[in-house]
Chains A and B, each alone.
Chain A
């Protein structure tokens, strides 16, 4: 990925995206597009993932062993690759969620601090 692409990417943490994907898949096996939809649903339409970012993330997670894939049939009877969480993925989801929460908390604290609280 070239530096320019990174700058223009939708404002989403790479780690955050992975996390969201793991979370989506943890609620049940999904194919790629389904992941997208579920994240949208879970966030009440507030989070829209670009397809261009989704698939590289899926392959990366699969490569890292956090998710596994198998071929199945989709709703309209087409062949699709379904992803589901592995045991390692489940552990990772838990650990990363914790970390994320803590980081978000800290960042929030920093941002909310008034100048006097330096």
Chain B
């Protein structure tokens, strides 16, 4: 009972400590005063009385401290003392503190930055969803003859079938995967918005609410009775419409149709996909009016719907998957021609769509490994530095040990100090990663309607401080253990004879390790950078310098077909009249962008060997496209205007398609059936194959046809700088039709930054990591060699006194540095070559074991090593032998 009472008193003693201390001090003073008075009254002089009183009282300072300790928990109060002491020590050795904090902050910060993106893309759940753990994505899956898996969104009829028949889901929602660029006609003034088509049950299945108004219902989404209704994104409503609640019920003219605003989504909800934040949502049934692609609601060939379902109570992924597979089989039996060999798979719901999750994880995982290695280097540096500092404090440790501080206590104290360092570095790292991650966001090409929000998420903070803590423990342990392994008598004695240089084996090993890791990083980074340079010069099959592009959708204004054609013809005429323009044309979408149209092509004469034909990608072009884009026509001819006007059944194929269907033959004049068409099309031309889906891919069979949709991309070839043309293009559009506005007006170079995005970012990050590693290693090497020099001052003095020349001394110093460097290089490059195979997927046109890279990295690091050793070596040479010998 008494124990408990004492315990609680000590807990209470944690608070108001300073006041208690002060009060006790007063009490002591009072007591001493009274004692002194007593002695005075006994006849002593005031001064004698005072000292007698003090003697009788005993050691006041000691007593105060004991009281302080007894008042509360000894452990905590001594821990706090360690913290204060540690802080003071850090402030005293400001130089090394800053160096270590900087190195660590950089290492930890970079890791935290990568993690920020990992978090935003993979870990952080989409805002606004209710119980996202219950959602499952549904993807259509098929495997082609080569065993390559392909994952596709669903077609509308398939989606409806699942939605209506799947019992294992309480609801399945669907949405269009590409937010569309829509022209908002705001009282005669055109502005481009991004809108998304969603199913009527989307908001309710997702559990997302509205701030004002109401949300969609399935009744709003009937294909035979489409309702022009929109729900606005909350931020869009606040920014563009002033957050006015009165807009409910008002109309918005979008792509020529009036829509009624029925609601505004709850704040924070930015959509069903990560990084895409559409300005408004409308129902799937409005598809034809909004994006003018008729037939999507009935076509079994157009895969455009991303779908997610909420598991019903008591259902598991397995049971749901089983049901879905069964339903898919039913569909396949009912529609054998369109749904052959397709099953449907489920993925758990995450911001990044299921099939891509693997790639994103692998990519970011690799980046994290890279920066973890940089952090390792930083830690090694910090550890070295601290060990150096510790051996400098050996004397202090010895004295404290002799005075009775146990080794455990000393270790605890040093650990507290390094943990403080790590904590400070952690805080700096948080700032650094926040700043850097926002900087990296600017790298994203603006042509994408991507918006990733990067607020300071608790997960990132936890991660950062966890890493900082682990770092602190890891690099703090060794110096603490070594620094406190002192023999008090021994150290104090040997101060007098600072004997031979005790080569620290551990420090050498650490240094070699650092250099090896650095070499590894540099090698990989150099490989990637060189591969990037190669990729930059990959020929994608069209001109990447002199073209300007702009996306237009005349159909968005509800024009008739005839009016659409008139607009585009007029525009074309105006564009050609611009100075510097060599040619212009239209295409339905550019190669290497995200869109893809696929179909199958059958040559009936080959039905024996290729009964189902081959899959091909489709581009719809106008005459002059190939010339404008610099695509070579290797056989036959281009389309002509009359074929365009009459919508003739003619196609141009690329060399890959020709090789697949008619190897060794002349494809001109061959007849094929394209997709669902009843009539055959004739091949009139062959163009050289280029890249269509991604850079560096294997050749894909492609055909070109002249049936143009209302949404087209204008391509303009200019002899001047295409950037200068952009404003002119926009102006011409306005001149031809003031209601029209072009979107994504950019040079081809800026467009190309999108396909290059992944490779470029990787190269940037790897390059940064390589440079960082190099700098850190250089600092580390410099520090170690400097310290070695100062330790060997006496030895150097002796040597010089014995006749060694300056060159000899320099060689002596350099030898150690170069030894460490060469061993490290051998290990590092060895490891790099062994693991280079992992990188080969990312490399364009360079072998993973490229010898030139080996030479570059070795030479670079050797140069750095020489630099690091040179300055300390020069300092060593300037040692005055007499001074050195006297330096005891």
Contacts and interface: CB of A to CB of B under 8 A. Distances in A.
Assess A/B contact in the complex (Cβ within 8 A).
yes
Interface of A: 3-4
Interface in B47-91: 66, 69-70, 74
A4 B66 CA distance: 10
Contacts of B74: 3-4
A106 B647 CA distance: 126
Contacts of B66: 3
Interface in B444-485: none
5 contacts: A3-B66, A3-B69, A3-B70, A3-B74, A4-B74
Nearest to B409: A2
A42 B557 CA distance: 114
A4 B73 CA distance: 11
Contacts of A4: 74
Could you say which interface size class chain B belongs to?
under 10
A3 B78 CA distance: 13
A3 B74 CA distance: 10
A46 to B, nearest CB: 23
Contacts of B69: 3
A3 B75 CA distance: 12
Nearest to B69: A3
B13 to A, nearest CB: 15
Interface of B: 66, 69-70, 74
Nearest to B62: A3
Nearest to B404: A2
A57 B623 CA distance: 109
Nearest to B65: A3
A4 B70 CA distance: 9
A3 B70 CA distance: 9
A91 B783 CA distance: 66
A3 B69 CA distance: 9
B317 to A, nearest CB: 58
A17 B69 CA distance: 27
Q: Which 3 A-B pairs have the closest CB atoms?
A: A3-B66, A4-B74, A3-B69
A3 B66 CA distance: 8
A56 to B, nearest CB: 15
B74 to A, nearest CB: 6
A110 to B, nearest CB: 20
Nearest to A3: B66
A117 B70 CA distance: 34
B62 to A, nearest CB: 10
Nearest to A6: B66
Contacts of A3: 66, 69-70, 74
Nearest to A7: B70
Nearest to A4: B74
Contacts of B70: 3
A4 B74 CA distance: 8
A85 B66 CA distance: 37
A4 B789 CA distance: 46
A4 B75 CA distance: 11
B112 to A, nearest CB: 41
Nearest to A1: B404
A4 B69 CA distance: 10
A4 B245 CA distance: 70
A87 to B, nearest CB: 34
A114 B69 CA distance: 35
B640 to A, nearest CB: 100
A3 B62 CA distance: 11
A3 B67 CA distance: 11
A3 B65 CA distance: 11
B413 to A, nearest CB: 16
A4 B78 CA distance: 13
B473 to A, nearest CB: 27
B56 to A, nearest CB: 19
A74 to B, nearest CB: 33
A3 B59 CA distance: 15
A94 to B, nearest CB: 29
A93 B276 CA distance: 93
B65 to A, nearest CB: 9
A22 B69 CA distance: 35
A4 B6 CA distance: 14
A3 B63 CA distance: 11
A81 to B, nearest CB: 26
A53 B803 CA distance: 63
A68 B69 CA distance: 39
B681 to A, nearest CB: 95
A117 to B, nearest CB: 25
B51 to A, nearest CB: 26
Nearest to B66: A3
A55 B681 CA distance: 108
B314 to A, nearest CB: 59
A11 to B, nearest CB: 14
A42 to B, nearest CB: 31
Nearest to B406: A2
A2 to B, nearest CB: 8
A88 to B, nearest CB: 29
B4 to A, nearest CB: 17
A39 to B, nearest CB: 28
Nearest to B75: A4
A103 B70 CA distance: 28
